[in-house]
Structure 1
Amino acid sequence: MHPKCQIYDSGEDLGHFPTWICSYLPRHVEHYTAACEDVTAIEEDLLGLPPNINTLCVCMTDGKNNLMSLGFFSQFQDLDYLYIKGCFTQILPSGKSHLPNLQHLHLDGMGSGCCDCHTGPHTFRDLVKLSHLTIWGYRLSAMAPDVFHGMTQLQSFIIIEPCVHDLSEIQCRVMNIKSLIKLNIEAPEIQSLNQSNCSILNTNESMTPVFNNLAISDLSFGEITHVEEGALAWLQNVTRLTGAFSQEVLQRLPLSGIQQIRYFSCSGSNEIDIESICNVVFLLSIKTLYLYNGNTSSLSMSSVELCIGLEYMYLGGPGFFHSTLYLEWHFISSLKNLIQLTIDGLKDNRLDICSFQKQPIKSLTKLTLELNNIEMLFAKQFICFGNLQYLDLADNSISNIEDFAFLGLTNLESLDISRNKITQINTNTFFGLQLTKLTLRLNKLHMLFAKQFSCLVKLQHLDLTQNLISNIEDFAFHGLTNLVSLDITKNKITQINANTFFGLHSLTWLDLRNNPLIHNIEAMSFTHLTSLRQVFLGQVHNPLTEPVIKLNLTLIFGGILSQLTHLYISSAMRPMQLIIGSNITSKQNLSLQLKGQTVSFQDCDRPFFQSVTHLHADAEEFLCGSEFMGKYFTSVETFDYRSKLSATSVDLTSINQLIHLRKLTLRQVDLLIQRSADNIFHNLTKLEVLEMYHCRIYSLEGSLTKDLKSLKTLYLHIENIYNVFYSFTEPLSSLKYLILPQIQIFCSCDNAWIITWAKVYRQVEVIMLTPYTNPVMYALEDLICLSDNGIDTPNFVRYTEANCTTEVGFVLFAATGLGVLFFMLVVLVHNLAGPYLLPLYHITLGWLSEAMRSNTRGRYHYDAFVSYSGKDESWVVEELLPNVEQRGPPFLRLCLHSRDFQLGKDIVENITDSLYRSRHTLCLVSRHYLRSNWCSLEMKLATSRLQVEQRDILLLVFLEKIPPRRLSAHHRLARLVKTRTYLDWPQDPDQHQAFWDRLWAKLSEA
């Protein structure tokens, strides 16, 4: 966690991030982004950012900041977009520290008034790839005249509120940017357009256009009081010009040197007459005109003759028509090329448009008449607009529409009559129309009659939202065979019959939300809607006498249930029970949304539920019988479950059976009352997003996240105070974002790890947000906790520093002292008991192995382990084995290293295991035996076992006479010879039988 910045991929789901910091981020790209707030010193506060970020947004603290060097950002070699909001005293160039990939630079000085930032010559020259530059709120006059020189790749330059009154201050600084394609200047302080007095224009050369590639030039000024001849000749062609002009100033605009304006927006007092406006339109070849607060008293066919080149005209604004009681609509006839006309603020509610038109208006395709207080539409009202394609009559007071009002509009495709007072639609209201879209939102329709829209055979989209419709007669939509979407939300519909939607064979989208459907939906109501894909039903109510609303989906939808992609059903705050009623399954990836006080299911094992991939349940209880219903949606990938903290406890553990989940959202779920809350999230190895809104949980531990290997985003809004243990984050190997709004933790050292982890572990971006409606990110240093008394809320960082940390010097001293003592102890033990350590280790290991064996009575596998030299193996094979193993009963079993050791096992382990799996140890001593290191080890282990067990388990057999001086060198063997009876192999063959009798008798003892 960076103390000042949040880091994220702009291509990810950013629903939880306060991304207003980067509000100007280009939306068409996906970048690795760092957004930093409350920055006071760039070079200090931005330390530690990843060097590979593509986008950097920096918001400085209010007030004037110190100088900023562009060279600092050269550490970000992949930087493409740089946005800095704040005012600096000076901006220094990058110098030799290049930004090779920077293409977008946005400097925003707003919030500090006019920013006086001294910027020297060629400051941006070294930004070799910079193509888009925006400067907002910086006083341009404080910058050097050649500040932008050398920018050979700049294509788009936006200058907003440059705090200058003279256009020359801007013009002289941009004239040499030959590569410009787009220039946008918004300078409301400029009131006078004068010729430039900068040296670059005061030459004897002809005034030729400087910007050879300029395609878009937008100029926006405040109230212009003076226009000097040739003031805008350096631009010639202007894409958009916006400003407030008086009549006199407007007449001088063609003298400014502009040859053409594509879009002209003029506002001012009502003294400007239409004829003067049209004169400017003609001289400057204006195509689009926005006129606010003009004088329309002279609006006539003759006054607009010079506006013949207009393609779009807007007339309106506060008080625009205050001087005109009635509008002379015949002026439209003179506008032969007008394609779109918008008029608002009209008081002439007669709307007498076509009565004065001797010829049809052929060019007009879009007519917008909003906010004109129109009360009624008469027959043939628009008959002169035969080519009209779009008619907008929204936000008027229309209460009555006569039959055939739209007669003649044979090319009309879209009609918007929203936000009026229409109470009734007749069969002939829309006669003659070939509409594809009809919008009747927010009117006062009470009823839809049979075949009401039958004449609109081409209609594709019908919007009846927020009317007062309580009854829909059967066959009301008859004839609408091409209707694709029907929206009847927020009405008062009480019943759906089998023939309510009869004939809508092309309907794919039907929205009936927020309607009090008191009676059950009649059987087979939707079965004939063969193209239906998305359905929204609600609120479904039964009469209050029935405690539970029951819906049989197969009975209502029939076979089309299999083709739905989205199904929404709401019973508001009433209990609801759903019945599938058949083994039908969806052929699509179904998204299912259910809302009710409780939602239960009767036939939970139906295959229909297995085809749901997106599930949203809003209910206190979501049940199959008494079990949680979630487990039956085995294919679900996203699951959003909203309950209530006061809801009855239902075991949610079965969520862990939804192994295909990629996103899980829990809202108002109380995990404190779950018997095994941690188990809920087990097995969810594909889960990428986990969100918990207003939930409760006792603590966050590793047992909860142990299977969340794929989790990338974790959003935790926990209502209660809780603990977060270090083990919680250990399994989250893919985690990128941890969002903690309103984090509430106990003042405990168990939680202290969060501070260090959030600062050091840069793989995860920790975002802490305030609990407000518009959340604000706050720093780790501002985190508070709840103390043991349940009242105090101290700063958590200061609490951990005071209670959970140890002095570094003391820790080093203690560690060094203990290390020295341990080293001395090791040396001492080695010197005093070195020879005994290895045998002791193997004895202990062998003893533990035998102690853990379950059978104690028959635990020995061998009667004797034979310790001998390999050079004596012939005696073992020829003498020992025939006389011991082949003699019996009972038959004895010997353990020989050459025969019985396990292959591949460590030799010492083989010896130890064999010793402890044998009742006796038989040592065959010879000169070869004494010279063998392995035999010496076997002797050590055998004697050590003898000392531990205190049993007669060690037998010595001397195969040859060995002088005492040779034995003295082997003190263990010499000590045994002096204290224990042993056998000598007799050289006389007659004594061999007695030798074998004694040895066999000893080995066969139990």
Structure 2
Amino acid sequence: MRAMFSHPAVLFLWIQCTSGWMHPKCQIYDRGEDLGDFPTWSCNYLPRHAEHYTAACKYVTAIEEDLLGLPPNINTFCISMANGENRSMSLGFFSQFQDLDYLYIKGCFTQILPSGKSHLPNLQHLHLDGMGSGCCDCHIGPHTFRDLVKLSNLTVWGYRLSAMAPDVFHGMTHLQSLIIREPCVDDLSEILCRIMNIKSLIKLNIEAPEIQSLNQSNCSILNTNESMKPVFNNLAISDLLFGEITHIQEGSLAWLQNLTGLSGAFSQEVLLRLPLSGIQQIQYFSCSGSNEIDIESICSVVFLLSIKKIYFHNANLSSLSMSSVELCIGLEYMHLRKPGYFHSTPYLEWHFISGLKNLIQLTINGLKDNRLDICSFQKQPIKWLTKLTLRLNKLQMLFAKQFSCLINLQYLDLADNLISNIEDFAFLGLTNLESLDIGINNITQINTNTFFGLQLTKLTLRLNKLHILFAKQFSCLVKLQYLDLTHNLISNIEDFAFLGLTNLESLDITRNKITQINANTFFGLHSLTWLDLRNNPLIHNIEAMSFTHLTSLRQVFLGQLNNPLTEPVIKLNLTLIFGGILSQLTHLYISSAMRPMQLIIGSNITSKHNLSLQLKGQTVSFEDCDRPFFQSVTHLHADAEEFLCGSEFMGKYFTSVETFDYRSKLSAKSVDLTSINQLIHLRKLTLRQVDLLIQRSADNIFHNLTKLEVLELDNCRIYSLEGSLTKDFKSLKTLYLCIENIYNVFYSFIEPLSSLKYLILPQIQIFCSCDNAWLITWAKGYRQVEVIMFTPYTNPVMSALEDLICLSDNGIDTPNFVKYTEANCTTEVGFVLFAATGLGVLFFMLVVLVHNLAGPYLLPLYHITLGWLSEAMRSNTRGRYHYDAFVSYSGKDERWVVEELLPNLEQSGPPFLRLCLHSRDFQLGKDIVENITDSLYRSRHTLCLVSRHYLRSNWCSLEMKLATSRLQVEQRDILLLVFLEKIPPRRLSAHHRLARLVKTRTYLDWPQDPDQHQAFWDRLWSKLSEA
């Protein structure tokens, strides 16, 4: 069985890391990174500045247990608790995250404990969301938030305030913004008396829909001794939202004299009591309800409370008149909406506007009056109104000079009506109008004088029923900058239709029925920078020079090119239709939908900017691939089964491209994509529906891409992922793998990815193989990489590693992969460590025992064994000796050796003897022990010259040991002893080997009498010369 931990690096990671970057409950990502469309868990209430490292955790059951192992440098926490009752939560747990700035927790706890001595020095935003559990009855004790010394923004949503201590918010000296939503109380005192001591508040938002009665604050209900009235001296923004208010007690809101906004459902009777509440001023007032309120009552409240902006969902529009709005003289914004759309409304007296001298913006919805008679009764022009919105009415026609009295109107919105006819000069007099929206109507024709007298910069005509644009149709709109004609029925645009629009910058004509573009279709649009013609059936050719006069054009969208079926391939010469402006483009989109398309550059022109090129067709091919134009493309998107230059893949000609998104089809013909590896400037590569199984060498496609930071394989096919594919990915940070088929992923695949931060695995499908088993351990233990697994539905559902399944060898069963690896690939680490430790201790004891019992024999035995094996392996024993004798002597006796031994043995003969001396014959650089061993076994005899110096030498002792061991093995007369001086027996007894040899072997003594020297040499020479 192949072991899961066969790779040492994987075993090391498993031992070193107890918790991994692929946390079972959390995602960790850097909000500053460009993650594109990759799915991440996110918080809905993150402030804009909440960046850097974010931990988004879902289905948490116990914070202290489930969030262990997260990195300490997290700045933003988003926690969503699992459904059901959760345990208590201590803010002290988060003290390990000293950089924590934003904390969002969605869920209900039984109790929230303070941080205590474990401070959160940088926490500025705390969001507690108990919604989803009804009213959360969580006990929060006194001074719970006091130790959060930098907390400036607190949101409490869905927590029952009555379950909290009366002094729960005491000690929060730096709190500037407090939002309380759905507090599950019906008495405003429950809220007010808890926040009355927060003197630093600048912003207060209370949304309490269950409060129906506004009474004076009574803090005795909280059993406190507080008798002082709350004072918020620094409060700049204050918003209150209630449900249906049935009663208002006098002075109930006196503690908050100036309101930014007040919203709720009021009847007319209750509304008239609002000024008695103690409020002196309201900037914005929103009222809803089922009962209509007449305008006179509304204006009475507006006057008494100095209200600037109102929104009434239940206004009685029939009561609008000059007299009814007299008290609304201070209004700046009015939004009146009749309850129930399109109910019958009597004639509206529009001259009421003349009485609202300060009104800047007016919005009215729910009218059935078609006359819209605003100006006929106005004796003086209305100079104050700048914005008029009449959406969601039933207006059917606009008459001449209908708005002529609104001389300073800047914005007019008539969208979402039933307008089918606009008379000439309908907008005459609106000389200051900048934006006109008449979209989502039934307009079929625009005349030359329809917009006469206007100085518009923006005109929206989308979702109407226009069929044709006539010549000079917009010629009077000389200041127009943006024109929206999307979703009409336009099939014909006459030449010079846009003549006069010299300042037009953006023209959007998408989703129409345009079939042809002539040379003069867009004539005169010298300032146009954006032209969008997508989703038009351009059946006929685009005429030559159609865009050459658009000297400011930067972004063009053409499609769908759809030449007659008699032409098998749609051909487009870009230089022919764009001319010199092709060099100015920054974005070019061309689509032939599902038809083959061939593009011709037609010149050596090149873009002066970094061009973004998007191409879509059944097949897209190029005729002149070597043109320098392609070298100026930095962003390339190709959606085609084949992307060709001749029969080769076209990608290699875009040598400067940095982002390349290529979508093919899994059923497309095989085209070698290896040339992608020539795009060495690539930073982002996306391959969609590409079958890499049919490539000759899929790995080679990705070589040389050392600058690549993002790789996305979306619905591609590949058999296995190995290191040969990623070997050059030195800069890769994000890897997205959505593989269509079942595949293997080897550990070598991930080894070269030293810069990887995010690995996204949607719908991962792998074989049940131990080759893939490393992924489990790596995903849990490699802290550098965040692993994201999900099912790619419309709303991606994140998956846990424990839910991963695999395909078994029979091609049918799909067992759980984690359980499979545990059963088939995992070695019990505890047992392995126990066995290794036990064997290690046993081996150590054995070594110590052997060393103590046979220590002196080990080294000689080793060298003798090597020598014996070497000798035994020699097939020819004759002539195997290089020396007649190996001389073992002390270096201090070398003089005797040179002056006596060598002259009498090597220089007398024949035959002449050859002796081996360590000072002369040992090989340089070779280990001394090996030199001794080799010399012993390459010599016929060993001659030991024994002296007192010899007995004191460790090297001589080793040579004696090796020689005696050889003597015992070979059982031949090969060891000769010569005593150079008399040595007492007591000295020899300390050298056991030598003492035994002296007792059992004949030896020679060096005679002191010179007359006996010759006999000594004859005897020694005779012995050594024996064959």
| Same-fold status (TM-score > 0.5) | yes
For residues 97-122 of structure 1, the C-alpha deviation after alignment (integer angstroms, 9 at most, x for no partner) is 21111111111111111111122221
**Does 994-1003 or 201-210 show the bigger shift?**
994-1003
**Superposed counterparts of 1:53-92, under 5 Å:** 53-92=74-113
Q: Deviations over 1:718-769 (max 9, x none)?
A: 1211122122211111111111111112222222222221222122111111
| Contact 1:296 1:323 (8 Å CA) reproduced | no
C-alpha contact 1:7 1:32 (8 A) present in aligned 2: yes
Taking the aligned partners of 1:282 and 1:340, their CA distance within structure 2 comes to: 18
Q: Is the 8 A contact 2:501 2:524 kept in 1?
A: yes
User: Gapped runs of 5+ residues in structure 2?
Assistant: 1-21
Q: Does residue 181 in structure 1 map to residue 187 in structure 2? A: no
Structure 1 contact 18–776 (Cα < 8 Å) conserved:
no
**Cα 1:937/1:626, change in 2 over 3 Å:** farther
Cα deviation 1:297-355 (Å, max 9, x = unaligned): 22101110111111111111433774632111111110111111111111001211111
Q: Give the distance between the partners of 1:990 and 1:692, measured in 2 at CA.
A: 100
Tell me the distance in 2 between the aligned counterparts of 1:503 and 1:845: 99
Q: Deviations over 1:40-88 (max 9, x none)?
A: 1111111111122111111111122121111222121111111111111
State the shift of 1:873 in Å.
15
- Percent sequence identity is 91
1:155 alignment counterpart: 176
CA distance, structure 1, for counterparts of residue 544 and residue 128 of structure 2: 64
Cα separation, partners in 2 of 1:826 and 1:459, compared to 1, 3 Å: same
Cα offset, 1:983, TM superposition? 22
How has the CA–CA distance of structure 1 residues 897 and 139 changed in structure 2, closer, same or farther, with 3 Å as cutoff?
same
Distance in 1 between residues matched to 2:652 and 2:844, nearest whole Å:
59
Unaligned segments of structure 1, at least 5 residues: none
Counterparts of 2:185 and 2:152, CA distance in 1: 24
Counterparts of 1:894 and 1:654, CA distance in 2: 71
Structure 2 distance, partners of 1:566, 1:681, is: 27
Supply the distance in 1 between the matched residues of 2:883 and 2:709 (Cα, whole angstroms): 59
Q: Could you tell me how far apart the structure 2 residues matched to 1:516 and 1:983 are?
A: 119
Match of 1:847 among 854, 857, 868: 868
2:278 aligned to 254, 257, 262, which one?
Answer: 257
Alpha-carbon spacing, 1:951–1:256, altered in 2? closer, same or farther (3 Å): farther
1:461 deviates by 0.7
Asked whether the 8 Å contact 1:16–1:739 carries over to 2, the reply is: no
For residues 118 and 930 of structure 1, do their structure 2 counterparts lie closer, same or farther at Cα, with a shift above 3 Å needed?
Answer: closer
Corresponding position of 1:560: 581
Q: Which residue of 2 aligns with 1:449?
A: 470
Q: State the shift of 1:13 in Å.
A: 2.6
Please say if 1:499 is aligned against 2:520. yes
CA contact under 8 A between 2:317 and 2:338: conserved in structure 1?
A: no
Q: Is the 8 A contact 1:541 1:571 kept in 2?
A: yes
1:224-247, Cα deviation, whole Å (9 max, x unpaired):
111110000000000001111111
Q: Which moved further from structure 2: 157-166 or 266-275?
A: 266-275
Distance of aligned partners of 1:701 and 1:20 in 2 relative to their CA distance in 1, 3 Å threshold: closer
Answering whether residue 62 of structure 2 is matched by residue 11 of structure 1, we say no
| Cα separation, 2, equivalents of 1:483 and 1:154 | 49
Change in CA separation of 1:202 and 1:930 when aligned onto 2, cut-off 3 Å: closer
1:209·1:236 contact (CA, 8 Å) conserved in 2?
Answer: no
Contact 1:132–1:155 (CA under 8 A) maintained in structure 2: yes
Q: Which moved more, 1:223-232 or 1:899-908?
A: 899-908
Tell me how far apart the structure 2 counterparts of residues 335 and 708 of structure 1 sit (CA, whole Å).
Answer: 68
Alpha carbons 2:197, 2:230 under 8 Å: kept: no
Residue 811 of structure 1 and its aligned partner are, at CA, apart by 2.3
Query: In the superposition, relative to structure 1, how do residues 816 and 91 fare at CA in structure 2: closer, same or farther (>3 Å)?
Result: closer
Is the CA contact (8 Å cut-off) linking 1:270 and 1:320 kept in structure 2? no
Kept in 2: contact 1:268–1:294 (CA 8 A): no
Contact 1:295 1:323 in 2 (8 A): no
Q: After alignment, is 300-309 or 684-693 more displaced? A: 684-693
Contact 1:865 1:914 in 2 (8 A): yes
Asked if 2 retains the 8 angstrom alpha-carbon contact of 1:21 and 1:36, the reply is no
Contact preservation (8 Å) 1:21, 1:58: no
Distance 2:867 2:350 in 1: 111
Change (3 A) 1:69 1:957: same
Matched position secondary structure for 2:32:
coil
Deviations 1:418-453 (Å, cap 9, x if unpaired)?
111111111111111111111111111111111111
Q: CA deviation at 1:928?
A: 14
| Contact 1:688 1:710 (8 Å CA) reproduced | yes
Moved more, 839-848 or 381-390: 839-848
2:254 match: secondary structure:
coil
Relative distance call for 1:857 and 1:733 in structure 2 (3 A) is: farther
User: SS of the counterpart of 1:205?
Assistant: coil
| Deviates further, 337-346 or 651-660 | 651-660
Do the aligned residues in 1 keep the contact of 2:60 with 2:82 (CA within 8 Å)?
Answer: yes
Contact 2:347 2:369 in 1 (8 A): yes
Distance change >3 Å, CA 91–CA 906, structure 1 → 2? same
Tell me the CA shift for residue 635 of structure 1: 1.2
Structure 1 contact 296–321 (Cα < 8 Å) conserved? no
Contact 1:656–1:683 (Cα < 8 Å) also in 2: yes
Q: Secondary structure at the match of 2:41?
A: helix
On the 8 A contact 1:663/1:689 being kept in 2, the answer is yes
Q: Secondary structure at the match of 2:347?
A: coil
Contact 2:342 2:394 in 1 (8 A): no
Matches within 5 A, 1:440-589: 440-589=461-610
- The one-character-per-residue Cα deviations of 1:875-897 (angstroms, maximum 9, x if unpaired) are 99999999999999999999999
Relative distance call for 1:1001 and 1:95 in structure 2 (3 A) is same
Aligned pair count reads 1006
**Taking structure 1 as reference, are residues 953 and 67 closer, same or farther at Cα in structure 2, changes over 3 Å only?**
same
Q: Alpha-carbon deviations, 1:233-291, whole Å to 9, x = none?
A: 00000000111111111111001000000001112244411001001111111111111
Alpha-carbon separation, structure 2, partners of 1:857 and 1:566:
90
Q: Secondary structure at the match of 2:761?
A: strand
SS at match of 1:952: coil
**Is the Cα–Cα contact under 8 Å of residues 354 and 382 in structure 1 kept in the other structure?**
yes
Matched, 1:274 2:310: no
Whether contact under 8 Å (2:140, 2:164) holds in the other structure is: yes
Residue 197 of structure 1 corresponds to: 218
Counterparts of 1:1003 and 1:582, CA distance in 2: 99
The answer as to whether partners of 2:50 and 2:76 remain within 8 angstroms in 1 is no
Q: What secondary structure is seen at the aligned counterpart in 2 of 1:223?
A: strand
Report the CA distance between 1:31 and its aligned residue. 2.9
Shift of residue 29, structure 1, vs aligned partner: 3.0
Between 226-235 and 555-564, report the one with greater CA deviation. Answer: 555-564
C-alpha displacement of 1:614: 0.8
2:886, 2:528 → 1: CA distance?
90
Q: Contact (CA 8 Å) 1:370, 1:395: kept in 2 or not?
A: yes
For the residue of structure 2 that corresponds to 1:222, the secondary structure is strand
Decide which of 746, 754, 774 is 2:775's aligned counterpart.
Answer: 754
Evaluate the alpha carbon distance shift between residue 335 and residue 879 of structure 1 in structure 2; reply closer, same or farther with a 3 A threshold: farther
Cα contact 1:294–1:320 (8 A) shared by 2: no
Per-residue CA deviation, residues 892-945 of structure 1 (Å, 9 max, x unaligned), is 999999999999999999999999999999999999999999999999999999
User: 1:852 & 1:635 partners in 2: Cα distance?
Assistant: 67
Q: 1:580 Cα shift? A: 1.3
Q: CA deviation at 1:770?
A: 1.9
> Structure 1 residues 95, 977: closer, same or farther in 2, change over 3 A?
closer
Would the aligned equivalents of 1:297 and 1:323 in 2 still touch at CA under 8 Å?
no
The answer as to whether partners of 1:91 and 1:118 remain within 8 angstroms in 2 is yes
Q: 1:31 to 1:812 in 2, by over 3 A?
A: closer
- Given that 1:744 and 1:785 are in contact with CA atoms closer than 8 Å, whether structure 2 keeps it comes out as yes
Q: Distance in 1 between the 2:512 and 2:869 partners?
A: 81
Pairwise CA distance, 1:977: 21
What is the Cα deviation at residue 805 of structure 1? Answer: 2.1
Displacement of 1:510 in angstroms is 0.7
CA displacement at 1:217 relative to structure 2: 0.6
TM superposition shift of 1:966: 18
1:442-499 residue CA offsets vs partner (Å, 9 max, x unmatched): 1111111111111111111111111111111111111111111111111111111111
Aligned equivalents of 2:774, 2:801: Cα separation in 1: 12
2:457 and 2:399 mapped to 1: Cα distance?
22
Q: 2-side partners of 1:473 and 1:114: how far apart?
A: 64
Counterpart in the other structure of 1:864: 885
Greater alpha carbon shift after TM alignment, 916-925 vs 361-370:
916-925
Asked if 1 retains the 8 angstrom alpha-carbon contact of 2:251 and 2:277, the reply is: yes
Instruction: Output the aligned Cα RMSD.
Output: 5.9
For normalisation by structure 1, the TM-score amounts to 0.85
How far apart, in 1, do the equivalents of 2:869 and 2:615 lie? 61
After TM superposition, the structure 1 stretch with the greater mean CA deviation from structure 2, 757-766 or 979-988, is 979-988
Larger mean CA deviation between 20-29 and 835-844 belongs to: 835-844
- Rate the CA distance shift 1:19–1:816 in 2: closer, same or farther, 3 A: closer
